[in-house]
Amino acid sequence: MAFPPVTNSRTPRVVIVGAGMAGIAAAQRLQRLASSRLQLTVLEASERIGGRIRSSEFNGERMELGATWIHGIDGSPIFKLATRIGAMDGGQQPWEGQDGFLRNELVRTEGGSEVDENIVRPVADLFDDLLEQVKDVDSCRADAHHSIGTFLRDGLDRFLVEQRQAALAAGRRPWNDNDESLRQARGLFRSKEYSERIVTGADCLTELDVGGYQEYKEFPGPHRTIGKGYSTVMRELSSVLPDQTVQFGKKVDRILWNQTTSAFPVSVHCQDGSVEYADHVLITVSLGVLKRATLAASRTDVPPGAEKRKKEDADVVIGGGLFSPALPEWKLESIARLGFGVVDKVFINLEPADGGQHTPLHLVFSSSDENGDDEADRDEHRRGGGGRRPAWLRKTFAIYPINKKSHVLVTWFAGREALLTEAQTEEELMKGITDTLAKFGFPRGSCKGLVRSKWGTDPLFQGSYSYVKNGSTCDDMQLLAEPLPTSSDDDLFAAAAAAAVGAGIAVTPPPLQLLFAGEATERHYYSTRYSIGSLLEKNCSEDAIRTDRLPVQS
């Protein structure tokens, strides 16, 4: 059977794969703009909406296991929506981040010594200044620097040379390699780098492309958390959808597209044996899932203790997997080049030993970790721990209460360390954290439980958020967002034409069979939940979904 013409009386079908922010926002938009002109179905593999948004409660307080902050509230569509529905204020229930970013933190070294303010302030200012410089295309040319990591380390080296010269000029003894002040300065700078890993999702800052970092944007204004939980935004968006629009427990394992022998060009096959036929399929799964579904990638970098992520070692092979026919090579290459990181949070309910309030603690580990990727460090990874602290704690930058009065502490992990935390039991995590806190002079208190995320080993996500990796550019995000088929995909058109001619039918493959949305398709706002903005606020021509181009009936 040939493709039905656009003028066919049947109502076009749209299937959205994934009920996270991008999927639900797209469904809400289509329902609002074109509900009478199409049939809409959302397939969600889990039993909930939200994707990488997951609000929860712990010890009577609300916190976020996934997306946490609105990155700038001035002009943010998420802030606008959350404010309209009264979600920004949590009311009587305390919540994570209700006091903003906590200040007046203690900066301590392993052993419990407090780092002198004469070291803290200059190093912190240096790091902040370098990040501002790297965002300035005039100060930092992308083609002149290998990565964000090398730019930062070059800046630190220049700073230390200047410090030495200033000390000599003033007749003071300069820092030397055996000087505790120098070790603390280097350790604090590393700690700042570790915090930037959390922001970017990269395992190592040397993986971060300078040009991609420069294109990243945030809305102006303060960063805020949502008092009633990020999930309230999801519930509001989904409230306009008719019952049964979102179908749960529908894990997609095959998408057949560019079909000429069916009434519909696309069929979506689920693990439970059900099939959804569609004219248009919007894919909103994470970049991590796309990578796993389309690339047979080597997992030799998986650390010990996280073996369940490890697959048979192989070189990267382009093609195969979720889509048939395989996605065009240009799109597969973009998927392969982009980075997708793992960031996890661990919350621990720790009663203060003195009955008072917790103080935010910034951790400066000893200088023996100076070269985080040296052979000794890799040996520690292979052992899965050892030394003075567990391997998964070695790049933790801080631990702090989720609000000023809370007994719930949170700490963040990225990259390999995040995967290692996911492999630990709750008892191992609690012991590792409390033992490490004790080494930093934090009084031992009564530990009453723990809650943590596991985004890296969750097969529905395979990680947390995307970043522009060395070897890729923001152009790859735009290529990922491109709908299929395109006129440039000559091989796909040829295949469809051959099938049509063989059947005695003259046919051109319908456009917009496969569309892509989500944070990894946002050139400037990748890694954030801003994708809701492009689906709620921006012009349709920038949406990926364009209702004016869908073959829907008037």
Q: Is residue 376 part of a domain?
A: no
Q: Are 151 and 207 in contact (CB under 8 A)?
A: no
The residue that leads in pLDDT, 312 or 388, is 388
Is residue 235 domain-shared with residue 209, that is, in the same domain?
no
Instruction: Give the CA count within 13 Å in the CB-facing half-sphere of 194.
Output: 28
- The reply to whether 256 and 318 lie within a common domain is yes
Considering the domain architecture, whether residues 239 and 193 belong to the same structural domain is answered as no
Domain boundary among 215, 241, 259: 215
pLDDT computed for residue 301 by the predictor = 43
Please tell me whether residues 245 and 305 are part of one structural domain: yes
Give a yes or no: residue 347 inside a domain: no
Q: What is the CATH number of the domain that holds 475?
A: 3.50.50.60
pLDDT digits (tens, 9 = 90+) for 230-240: 999 999 999 99
Residue 354 placed within a domain: no
- Whether 156 is covered by a domain: the verdict is yes
- Residue 525: pLDDT band (50, 70, 90) is confident
Look at residues 164, 185, 215 and tell me which one is the last residue of a structural domain.
215
Residue 450 lies in a domain: no
195 shares a domain with 168: yes
138-197 pLDDT, tens digit each: 777 766 667 999 999 999 999 999 988 988 898 888 877 678 899 999 999 999 999 999
Whether residue 519 lies inside any domain: the answer is: yes
Instruction: Please report, rounded to a whole number, the percentage of residues in the chain having pLDDT higher than 90.
Output: 66
Is residue 254 very low, low, confident or very high in pLDDT (cuts 50, 70, 90)? very high
pLDDT at position 315: 34
- Look up the pTM and report it: 0.86
Q: Are residues 273 and 129 in the same domain?
A: no
Co-location of 273 and 124 in the same domain? no
Q: Is residue 389 pLDDT above 90, yes or no?
A: no
Q: What confidence score (pLDDT) does residue 489 get? A: 60
261 and 199 share one domain: no
Q: Both 28 and 127 in a single domain?
A: no
State whether 42 and 120 are in the same domain: no
Same domain, 204 and 234: no
Least confident of 125-134, 433-442, 541-550: 541-550
477 closest CA partner among 321, 256, 280, 290: 290
Confidence of residue 534 (pLDDT cuts 50, 70, 90): very low
How far from each other are the two terminal CA atoms of the chain, in whole angstroms?
25
Q: How many domains does the chain have?
A: 2
DSSP 392-437: GGTT--EEEESSTT-SEEEEEEEHHHHHHHHHS-HHHHHHHHHHHH
Listed in sequence order, the residues at least 6 apart from 172 whose beta carbon sits closer than 8 Å to its beta carbon are none
User: pLDDT tens digits for 464-502?
Assistant: 999 999 999 999 999 999 999 986 565 655 555 555 555
Is the domain of 250 the same as that of 119? no
Asked if residue 122 belongs to a domain, the reply is yes
Task: For residues 227 and 95, give the distance between their C-alpha atoms in angstroms, rounded to a whole number.
Answer: 6
Domain boundary among 215, 241, 275: 215
pLDDT band of residue 367 (cuts 50, 70, 90) is low
404 φ/ψ sector (left φ>0, alpha ψ -120 to 50, else beta): alpha
Q: Range of 298's domain?
A: 13-50+230-340+462-542
Would you say residue 422 lies in a domain?
no
Task: Please tell me the predicted confidence (pLDDT) of residue 550.
Answer: 47
Confidence class for position 202, pLDDT limits 50, 70, 90: very high
